[in-house]
């Protein structure tokens, strides 16, 4: 997703001189082309993420559209006060880009596991929260974000993310993408869980369960129309590489409670604890029961 993101941003910067890119001492080779093309609009702020967000807020107040890039835990948790007070309070068009959502940096341990970022960002007033499901969505999301009048959080994977969409879907903020139709259950995935959702649907099909798969790439605001459609199936399932608390599942359950929606809901997410074991992303996802096989098994058990 990182490569898709910078491709989209480089393309957008060509036609929009307001685009400014700030990085917290990350991605040297990845951003070489952008820095060469637009040297006056590229800034390495160093390992000073709080200051970087403050600078971005100042640039936005002068008419620029800054994109601020760092590892997801650093971009959100370390800079929370600046994001809240400098950016969100003033409604400035600053995009916080968090790379390595979920367990993408699995081997680096809990300091790099971004499992609270969706909850924290969606709690901030004026903030739009976007988590593309694959590199195709990630690249398209940039132009969509550029149309926003206020702050946004863009949650990306890392490298090697699987491409799900064989053709370019219509990407709109707040409008989910239906990847495949199904009648028995609806698997609503956000971020890097989309490939796992597709694989889980294939596994369920071997048990004669027809699963609809939806990419809920915008966690805030939710696509309520698609959520209502999911209630036409026997079970709505939310999938996220994030804590069970405060993420997509919480957002959907809040919506159901407020709207008095009577529907069976299964929230599949990471455990509410630190993952102290280090390992690959796939290994840690399996440890948390959010791999494709575990998803298919839990849905099967629920539908039984």
The CATH class, in words, for 177-303 is alpha beta
3-state secondary structure of 217: coil
3-state secondary structure of 140: helix
pLDDT at 148 over 90: yes
Domain ranges for the chain, please list them.
2-156, 177-303
**What percent of the chain stands above pLDDT 90?**
95
pLDDT at 159 over 80: no
49-70: per-residue pLDDT in tens? 999 999 999 999 999 999 999 9
Would you list the DSSP string of 249-297? HHHHHHHHHHTT----EEEEEE-SS---S---HHHHHHHTT-SHHHHHH
Relative to beta strand 65-71, strand 42-44 is: unpaired
Of 161, 154, 164, which Cα lies nearest the Cα of 103? 161
Whether 2-156 and 177-303 share one fold: the answer is: yes
277 confidence band (pLDDT: 50, 70, 90): confident
Of the listed ranges 29-33, 72-76, 141-145, the one predicted with least confidence: 29-33
89-116: per-residue pLDDT in tens? 999 999 999 999 999 999 999 999 999 9
301 confidence band (pLDDT: 50, 70, 90): very high
pLDDT at position 37: 96
Q: Is the separation of the CB atoms in 191 and 241 below 8 Å?
A: yes
CATH homologous superfamily of 2-156 equals Thiamin diphosphate (ThDP)-binding fold, Pyr/PP domains (3.40.50.970)
244 confidence band (pLDDT: 50, 70, 90): very high
The rounded mean pLDDT for the chain is: 96
pLDDT at 276 over 90: no
243 confidence band (pLDDT: 50, 70, 90): very high
pLDDT mean over 220-231: 97
Q: How many CA atoms are closer than 13 Å to the CA of 129, on its beta-carbon side?
A: 25
3-state percent helix, strand, coil for the chain, nearest multiple of 5: 40, 20, 40
């Amino acid at each position: 997703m990182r490569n898709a993101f910078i491709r989209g941003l480089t393309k957008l910067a060509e036609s929009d001189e307001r685009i400014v890119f700030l990085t917290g001492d990350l991605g040297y080779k990845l951003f070489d082309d952008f820095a060469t093309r637009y040297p006056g609009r590229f800034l390495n702020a160093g390992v000073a993420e709080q200051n970087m967000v403050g600078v971005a807020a100042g640039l936005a107040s002068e008419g620029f559209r800054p994109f601020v890039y760092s590892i997801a835990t650093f971009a959100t948790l370390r800079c929370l006060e600046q994001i809240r007070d400098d950016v969100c309070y003033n409604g400035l068009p600053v995009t916080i880009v968090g790379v390595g959502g979920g367990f993408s940096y699995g081997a680096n341990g809990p300091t790099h596991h971004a499992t609270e970022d969706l909850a924290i960002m969606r709690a901030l007033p004026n903030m739009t929260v976007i988590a593309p499901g694959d590199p195709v969505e990630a690249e398209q999301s940039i132009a969509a974000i550029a149309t926003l009048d206020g702050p946004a959080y863009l949650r990306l994977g890392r490298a090697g993310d699987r491409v799900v969409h064989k053709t370019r879907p219509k990407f709109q903020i707040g409008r989910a993408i239906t990847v495949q139709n199904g009648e028995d259950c609806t698997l609503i995935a956000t971020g890097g869980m989309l490939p796992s959702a597709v694989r889980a649907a294939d596994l369920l099909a071997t048990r004669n369960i027809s699963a609809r798969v939806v990419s809920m790439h915008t966690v805030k605001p939710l696509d309520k129309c698609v959520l209502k459609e999911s209630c036409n199936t026997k079970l709505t399932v939310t999938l996220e590489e994030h804590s069970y608390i405060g993420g997509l599942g919480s957002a959907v359950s809040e919506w159901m409670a407020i709207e008095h929606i009577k529907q069976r809901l299964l929230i599949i997410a990471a455990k509410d604890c630190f993952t102290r074991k280090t390992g690959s992303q796939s290994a840690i996802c399996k440890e948390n029961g959010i791999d494709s096989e575990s998803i298919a098994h839990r849905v099967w058990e629920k539908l039984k």
